Each structure stands twice: as structure tokens, then as C-alpha cells.
Chain A
Amino acid sequence: MNAERENDSRRRSRAHGRLWLLAALLPLVLLTASAVGAVNIGLVDLWNLVAAPAQVPEIVRAVFWEIRLPRVLLAALVGAALALAGAGVQGLFRNPLADPALIGVSAGAALGAVVCFFFGWEGLLGGWLLPLAAFVGGWLAVLVLGIFNAGFAAGGTAKLILAGVALNAMLGSVLGFFLFSASDDALRSMTFWTLGSCASAQWPQVVVLLIFLAIGVILLWRNARSLDALQFGEEQAAHLGVSVVRVRREIILAAALLVGAATAFAGTIGFIGLVAPHMARLLLGGLHRLVLPGAILLGAMLLVLADLGARTLAAPAELAVGILTAVIGGPFFLALLRRPSSWST
């Protein structure tokens, strides 16, 4: 009995230790990504940027504060938001293949953006119309899904998933129509947007996304235990005291906010929302109080690294970051899958 208790606390502290390790890795990744690029910034300069700004060449200062840092932070926030939304949606649907895109928000956002490009409106409102259109598009899609699913109160996630698939297909064909009829220039912008990019990062966007991430964190964290209970099935969770419909609405709301905002600023970026939560589960076990923070950290690191690759691999040209997320995350994920699971005894 005491041996079992000891084993249990050892297992728990191991999982917590891993989470702290991920938390310690994130600043390192952020720092590395901030230093590397078209203008490389040495360690001494990096330190002096904060400690003694006068000793750093002005060009380096400008690059770091106005281009590099906002971009790295935006990538981190977008990755964190997508991964967090993915963790919530996978937990809710109890489906390892669930992706935040399932609730239609990504396709809706893409349609909003593509309409913007189609009419050449992307520069309007000081460039803010594009993210706004994407965000509204994503929300409209979720709203339509909600209406058809009786306010997400109708029983059974299976129907919701199927409705999501149908909605995605319909949005896809409207999207296809716009792509088909667009001018070559607009088509190029659309394609680049749908592959994702953090190139347009600026401080205001970082701040806006940070606010959305904070809301998402609050909404998901307060439902973390309910998500655990949902793994027994929705009915059994209800018997354990979970208000299933309220939890479902809050998680879909959180996912729509997170993915809507992330997509608005960075375009559609696949893979992270699907894979980062699984990585967190493989490393930390299935409890959502570990999975949610783990997914945030892993999602942030994955996208920062992918973005680093996007702006350096083919420099001075830029790759679309969506091309790289899977290239960087895929092998790592496969390696994790091969490992015997760590939380079993």
C-alpha cells in the first residue's frame, strides 16, 4: 500500500517535472528564434538590448524590437492558441482525430479572408479589415453549426462531428469558387494566406492575441476537471456532476475565440491543433490540468521553430509556415508514438 502510494507520487512528480522542463525550454526557444534571422544577433547584443541599449547598433535594436520580437511572440501565441483549442476539442469529442477545424472555424475564417482578397480589400482599415473578416467568418461558421445543433445542446457529439464535416465541405466549395474566379495576384495572396504566415506581425496584434489567449485559458482551465470526467462518456460525466451542455458550449466558445483570433493574424495553420495536444498527452498523461498547459507550451515552441525555419531556410525568400509545421512536428510526433507509454506501470 505504501509502495503504491510512493509509486503514485513519483509518477505525478515525474509528470510535473516534465511540464516544468517544457516551461523552461520555451524561453530558450524564444530567445534562439529572436537571435537568428536575416540579421543575426549575438548573445552579448541580446543581453545588452535590455541591459545597455546604447551599446547596441541602432539597426539591431530596430530589427529586434520592431520586427523579430513581435514576430516570434506572435508565432508563440498563435501556436499556443491552436494547441490549446485542439486540446479542448479533443477532450470534448473524446476523439483523437478531432481538430479545432472540425467546428468550422478555420474554414469560415479562410472564407472571410479569401473574400477580402477577392475584392482587394485586404489593405482597408489600416490592414485590420483582413483579420476582422477572417474572425467574423470563423464565428459565422460556428454560429451556423450551433443553430443546426440546437445551440450545441442536442445529444451526442457524433452528430456534431458529422455536421462539422458537412459544414467544412460546404465552406470548402464556396472557398473553391472564389479561388477559381480570382485574379492571379489575388490567388497568390489567397494561397499564401491559407498556408499560414507570421510575417505581418506587429505589436498591436500580439496584444490582441494575448487577450484572446487569456480568455481561452480561463474558459478551458475552469473546465479541466470536467474534461477529465467527460472521458468516461457524456452520460457518466453528467452523473458525476458535470453540466455537460454548459461545458460543451464553453469549450466550443473558447476554441472559436482562440482559432478565430489565431487564424485572423496568421492564416490557416494546420497540424499544430491536432498534434501538440497529443504530444502533451504522451509526455504528461491524460489529465487536462497537465495536458492544457503542456499543449500551450508545445504548440508555442512548435510554431516558433516552424516560423524560424520559414524565414531562414530559403532566405531571403519566405516559406509559408504551414508547410513547415508538419515537417518539423511530424518526425517528433512519430518518435513519441514509438516510445512505450510512460504513464503505465
Chain B
Amino acid sequence: MSKNVPSLVAEEITLSRETRRILDGVSLAVTPGKFMAVIGPNGAGKSTLLSVMSGLFKAGSGQVMLNGRAISDYRPSERARHCAVMRQDNARPSGMTVLEAVELGRLAYGAEEDVRSVAWEMLQQMNLSDLAGRDCSRLSGGEWQRVAFARTVAQISGGETAGVLLLDEPVSSLDPSHQHQLLGEARRLARAGHGVLAILHDLNLTAHYADEVALLAAGRIHSSGPASEIMQPAVLSEIYGCRVTEIREGGQRALVSLSAERTR
């Protein structure tokens, strides 16, 4: 696969539910080798965009292309081998161990391969080996989020072609250390040639890990580009409607919103 050829492309996506327009002409490309973050206020349409881009929802107009082919032309199992999705609403099954849950990441592959070895490898990589035999229903929210991530990564690893990872708020339940671990792993996967798109809320994590950022507001792409350009206090203050300021200390930069002061 040649580098920097967009592998998952949304073109002019529009989607309405009843009379409400949720997505309005959204174009976005997930490029191999890049970590892209989508940020924006609650209700901006981020998760809906992810559902459309993963082929789960049909767009009202516009199209989504996965590796040059309309995503609606893929059979679910074929699609799953190229594009892995971690949703927010991931039910935690009981009677299933962590290892078994991660093994299900390989559901779309043939039965011949050694699913268990792949799953062990993933657990080791994510420092989850200790939890291998734990019942999923007995995990904490954060532990479950890491397991779900491991399962999602298992879905696209080991293939001959690079895959696409779509992550919907993958670190929302994690402590700071695990946030870094998970996003670091996501960035490493991008460096290894996969395309990564993550919906994030934490501005500093976004600024630190994302190569590119798309700002979604009221169903439209407000702006998109390299993280260093987009993650500016003025832009963010306008989008979120509250003042975001920049603090610099010892060569590091932090974006903070200290008060609910309205900016619009």
C-alpha cells in the first residue's frame, strides 16, 4: 500500500433524522500513517459521523470509500478485516473472559489461524495479561475500555494490508497514565502504517497525539488541518463557546478552560 493514499474517505456526507440535519456536507479522509482526531462540542455529530464512516449508517447523500471502493459494497466480514471500530456503547458481557473477548476481535478471519496467540499478544502489548481470565462483567469501566481497545486492535493487526481504526472516545474512562498508554499505542499503530481516527474531548491529549485535527461543529467541518494549526485558543474558544487559554511552562504548552465565561 502506497503511503499517504487516503484509505477511508468520506465525501460530502449529509444525514438527516426527521427534520434535523445531523451531518451537513462533511468531507474527511483517514490517511495511512496518520493519527487524526475529531473534536467538537457535544451533539456536533461526531459519533454519527463515525457510524456513517464505518458503514453502519447509510448517508443521506455523499459517499464513503474504503480503499477506493464504496463501503456499502463490502460484506460485513470483509469490511471488518479492513476497518475496526471501537464504539462508546460497548456492552460488557458476562460469562466471557477478557481473553475470549479479545479473541472475538478476530471473528471476521478464518478459523485456521491461531486466534488465541493473537489475543495473548494483544493482551501483553496492552499490559492486560493479568486480567486474561477475568470475567468481563467484573472489570472496571477503565479496564473494560482497554480490553475493548485491545479487541479492536486485534481486528486489524497481522494483515498484509494496513487497516483503519475508528475510535469513539477511547480514553473517556481512563486515568491519565492509561490515557497516554492507549493513545501512544494508537499513534504507534499509525506510524506502522494504519490509518487512525479518534473522537476525543481532551484538548491537550488531542494536541499531543494527533497529527491532524478536524473540528466538527453543528454537523459541519469548521476547520481541519495539522494539529498545531487547529489547536489554537481562539479557534477552540469560538467552537466550544467558552474561553480556552494557553499556558506555557518549561517548553510545554497546555490548553485550559478555567471558567464558564461565554464567548458567544
- A residues touching B (Cβ–Cβ < 8 Å)? 1, 4-5, 7-8, 11, 94, 225-226, 228-229, 231-233, 235-236, 238-244, 281, 285-287, 341, 343-345
Contact of A11 with B97 in the complex, beta carbons under 8 Å: yes
Shortest Cβ distance from A8 into chain B, in angstroms?
Answer: 6
Q: Is B245 an interface residue (CB 8 A)?
A: no
Q: Is B63 an interface residue (CB 8 A)?
A: no
Chain B hits for A229, CB < 8 A: 104, 107
Bound together, the chains give a CA A242 to CA B76 distance in angstroms of: 6
Encode B71-82 as 1/0 by CB contact (under 8 A) with A: 000011111110
Contact of A345 with B96 in the complex, beta carbons under 8 Å: no
* Additional A-B contacts beyond A231-B91, A239-B80 (6; CB < 8 A): A228-B93, A231-B93, A232-B101, A233-B89, A240-B108, A243-B75
Known contacts A8-B133, A241-B79, A235 near B89 by CB under 8 Å: yes
Select one of A1, A7, A286, A343 contacting B124, CB under 8 A.
A1
Known contacts A4-B133, A242-B76, A225 near B107 by CB under 8 Å: yes
Contact of B96 with A231 in the complex, beta carbons under 8 Å: yes
Shortest Cβ distance from A85 into chain B, in angstroms?
Answer: 19
Shortest Cβ distance from B105 into chain A, in angstroms?
Answer: 7
19 sample A-B contacts, Cβ–Cβ < 8 Å, listed by A number: A4-B132, A228-B93, A228-B104, A231-B93, A232-B90, A232-B93, A232-B104, A239-B56, A239-B84, A241-B77, A241-B78, A241-B107, A241-B108, A285-B96, A286-B94, A286-B96, A287-B100, A341-B135, A343-B97
When C-beta atoms are compared, the residue in chain B nearest to A291 turns out to be: B95
Chain A hits for B99, CB < 8 A: 8
Select one of A4, A8, A236, A286 contacting B90, CB under 8 A.
A236
Contact of B95 with A94 in the complex, beta carbons under 8 Å: no
- B residues touching A (Cβ–Cβ < 8 Å)? 51, 54, 56, 75-81, 83-85, 87, 89-91, 93-97, 99-101, 104-105, 107-108, 120, 124, 129-130, 132-135, 138, 155
Bound together, the chains give a CA A238 to CA B93 distance in angstroms of: 16
Shortest Cβ distance from A242 into chain B, in angstroms?
Answer: 6
Shortest Cβ distance from A16 into chain B, in angstroms?
Answer: 14
Give the total number of A-B pairs whose CB atoms are below 8 A apart: 99
Bound together, the chains give a CA A5 to CA B117 distance in angstroms of: 10
Chain B hits for A285, CB < 8 A: 95-97
Contact of A1 with B129 in the complex, beta carbons under 8 Å: yes
When C-beta atoms are compared, the residue in chain B nearest to A7 turns out to be: B133
When C-beta atoms are compared, the residue in chain B nearest to A280 turns out to be: B95
Contact of A240 with B104 in the complex, beta carbons under 8 Å: yes
Chain A hits for B76, CB < 8 A: 238, 241-244
Shortest Cβ distance from A179 into chain B, in angstroms?
Answer: 40
Contact of A287 with B56 in the complex, beta carbons under 8 Å: no
Bound together, the chains give a CA A23 to CA B89 distance in angstroms of: 38
Contact of A94 with B91 in the complex, beta carbons under 8 Å: yes
Shortest Cβ distance from A56 into chain B, in angstroms?
Answer: 47
Select one of B87, B94, B133 contacting A345, CB under 8 A.
B133
Chain B hits for A344, CB < 8 A: 134-135, 138
Chain B hits for A5, CB < 8 A: 120, 132
Known contacts A1-B124, A8-B132, A238-B76, A228 near B85 by CB under 8 Å: no
Bound together, the chains give a CA A132 to CA B51 distance in angstroms of: 45
Contact of A225 with B104 in the complex, beta carbons under 8 Å: yes
When C-beta atoms are compared, the residue in chain A nearest to B116 turns out to be: A8
Shortest Cβ distance from B101 into chain A, in angstroms?
Answer: 8
Bound together, the chains give a CA A241 to CA B74 distance in angstroms of: 10
Chain B hits for A226, CB < 8 A: 107
Bound together, the chains give a CA A215 to CA B44 distance in angstroms of: 48
When C-beta atoms are compared, the residue in chain B nearest to A242 turns out to be: B76
Chain B hits for A233, CB < 8 A: 87, 89-91
